[in-house]
Amino acid sequence: MHNNDQQAQQNNIRVTLAYDGTGFAGWQIQKDKRTVQGEVETALEKMHRRRVKIYAAGRTDSGVHARGQVINFRSDISSLSPDRFFVALNSYLPPDVQAIDSTEVPPDFHSRYSARLRTYRYYLLPAEAMPPEHRLYCLRIRYNPDIAALNRLCVPLLGVHDFTSFALPRDVSTSKKRRIQKAVFFMDGPFLVFEISANAFLWRMVRSILGTLLSFEREGKGPEALEKVIHAQRWDASGESVPSAGLFLHSVRYEGEVY
């Protein structure tokens, strides 16, 4: 038992979530729509018998999946060890969103503002037919891209840049500067995976970058073409975005964690 002697204390609990984005209108609560935030807050309300406000590291879009979404919230349930909180939470959650682990964190930990690195993965399947079990979790492409060429195209993305060219026109973020630490393609079984890590991402940025990289590889364009797109700082300089189904919020890393 944890904190049995301090019943009224509010612990800051961090939970890792995995979800299948197919059945959700994205992360963020919206009226009359099924959202991940809505389902998790409803589950926590049942456990706490009061509304519990949660914060998420990444506000994923409609149809986007997660393996390592991180949330935090205040809990006064003293009868549960923080490390086993996720097991209890799962019994209140639907099967398409599940908690993977849980732990107590310092009072000033904030899943969104404390996050140092967010990693997304996009799964492509170069194949003649789409195996039905994978149809909601990857994008099938009808050719075999040159992986070395794709990785060369990624190089200009690294470092700090203004990513206006990969933002949506309606994006009102005050700064569109982000720091990309990693952008790489690799094979994982039959899948061609695009993995990209940054301090933070703009809305739809990963899908816009990947769509541009794929079309440039097909057209035989080199890294200098991608550099031009970045420097243009115009949203219409980039290529068409890829659909949401192949995208996963893979992990989020915080101060002091290995990344």
Which among 20, 61, 76, 188 is annotated as catalytic? 61
Annotation marks residue 83 as catalytic: no
Contact string 62-91 vs its own copies (x = CB under 8 A): ---x-x------------------xx--x-
8 is a contact residue toward its own copies (CB under 8 A): no
- Token pair, residue 88, equals 């209890």
Distance of CA 45 to the CA centre of its chain: 24
Of the candidates 12, 13, 14, 19, which one interacts with its own copies according to CB under 8 A? 19
Side chain identity, residue 140: R
Kindly tell me which of 87 and 160 has the beta carbon lying closer to its own copies. Answer: 87
With binding defined as CB under 8 A, does residue 135 bind its own copies?
yes
Span between the terminal Cα atoms of the chain, in Å? 32
Only one residue has tokens 């003293």, namely 78
Please state, in angstroms and rounded to a whole number, the distance separating the CA atoms of residues 108 and 106: 6
130 scored as a contact of its own copies (CB under 8 A): yes
Residue 130 or 232 with smaller CB distance to its own copies = 130
Cβ neighbors of 49 (< 8 A, separation 6 or more) are: none
CB count in 10 Å sphere of residue 97: 23
Tokens of 53: 């406000």
Catalytic residues, which ones? Answer: 61
Residues that bind its own copies (CB under 8 A): 18-20, 65, 67, 86-87, 90, 95-101, 128-133, 135-137
